[in-house]
Amino acid sequence: MIRFDNVHYHYRNRPVINGLSLELTERRIGIVGSNGSGKSTLSRLLNGLLSPTEGCITVDELDTRTQARQVRRRVGLVFQNPDSQIVLPTVAEDLAFGLRHQKVPKARIDELIDEVLTRHDLHAFRDTPIHHLSGGQKQLVALSGVLVMSPQWLVLDEPTTLLDLRNRRRITEVIDQLEQRAIVVSHDLELMQHMERVIVLDQGKVAIDAPPNIALPFYTEQMT
Ligand SMILES: Nc1ncnc2c1ncn2[C@@H]1O[C@H](COP(=O)(O)OP(=O)(O)OP(=O)(O)O)[C@@H](O)[C@H]1O
């Protein structure tokens, strides 16, 4: 379980998250909200990249302030723009990066990479330079790079915004089939329909927290 206990986050003196208390247990949780409502800040708080200014976040009992390294292993964060996540020139090199850092033996790294690429239909691109890939393929590589580390939780920040309809559907299918628990931050309301629970953020607070058939009409009404 991920638990937020009266969490506040301020950038310098600008309050962005304002007293969130949440228990996240569902397998698919969506976070929506208008631009600047605090969604990306929330994603970074979830995996310990940012620490609350006030209050406490625990991930399966690990405190993100004091056990950030363990939290980051447990919660994989996929950024909105794959270019900010992919660091090495070819697909295989990039996927090996985190595993090598964790001192996983080379033969095991190759096995894990083969497995994740096959699962996402990317095996033909194993040694392809990243800059030859389409936006959708890069998005899948960025996701694969996080999955290969076997996190228990995934946080996906706007996984479909840069994609065309076909790739949006593909990523939606991949998210549906993930074994991990996933928290998906997105403006893509079609993707949000696939969630069990949708939290609407407004100025760093929960405006509504409900199944998508209730939360999404509330959100669209609020936005118009
Ligand atoms: N590094 C930063 N320093 C100062 N202010 C920041 C920083 N990052 C974000 N903010 C501010 O915090 C607020 C919330 O930003 P955040 O990126 O979390 O919102 P968001 O809901 O993800 O927005 P969007 O839908 O536009 O991506 C915004 O007003 C933003 O300007």
ipTM summary value: 0.96
Of 17, 34, 39, 187, the one to substitute when testing ligand 1's pocket (max ligand atoms within 8 A of C-beta) is 39
Provide CATH code, domain 2-223: 3.40.50.300
| Identity of the amino acid at 7 | V
- In tens, the pLDDT along 172-209 reads 999 999 999 999 999 999 999 999 999 999 999 999 99
Q: Using CA positions, which residue lies closest to atom 4 of ligand 1?
A: 11
Q: Using CA positions, which residue lies closest to atom 3 of ligand 1?
A: 11
Q: What is the pTM of this model?
A: 0.92
Neighbouring CB atoms inside 10 A of 43's CB total: 24
Residue 166: the pLDDT is: 85
Q: Where are the domains of the chain?
A: 2-223
Q: Using CA positions, which residue lies closest to atom 30 of ligand 1?
A: 36
Residue 71: the pLDDT is: 96
DSSP class of residue 135 equals H
CA-42 nearest atom, ligand 1: 18
User: What Å distances lie between residue 98 and 44, 94, 158, 183, CA to CA?
Assistant: 18, 8, 22, 21
CA-185 nearest atom, ligand 1: 22
Written as tens digits, the pLDDT of the chain (224 aa) is: 999 999 999 999 899 999 999 999 999 999 999 999 999 999 999 999 999 999 999 999 999 999 999 999 999 999 888 888 887 889 999 899 989 988 999 999 999 999 999 988 888 999 998 888 888 888 888 999 999 999 999 999 999 887 888 888 988 999 999 999 999 999 999 999 999 999 999 999 999 999 999 999 999 998 87
What CA–CA distance (Å, rounded) separates 182 from 104?
Answer: 25
**139-152 CB burial, b ≥16 within 10 A, e <16:** bbbbbbbbbbbebe
Residue 170: the pLDDT is: 86
Strand segments (E) across the chain: 2-11, 14-24, 28-33, 54-59, 62-63, 75-78, 153-157, 181-185, 197-202, 205-210
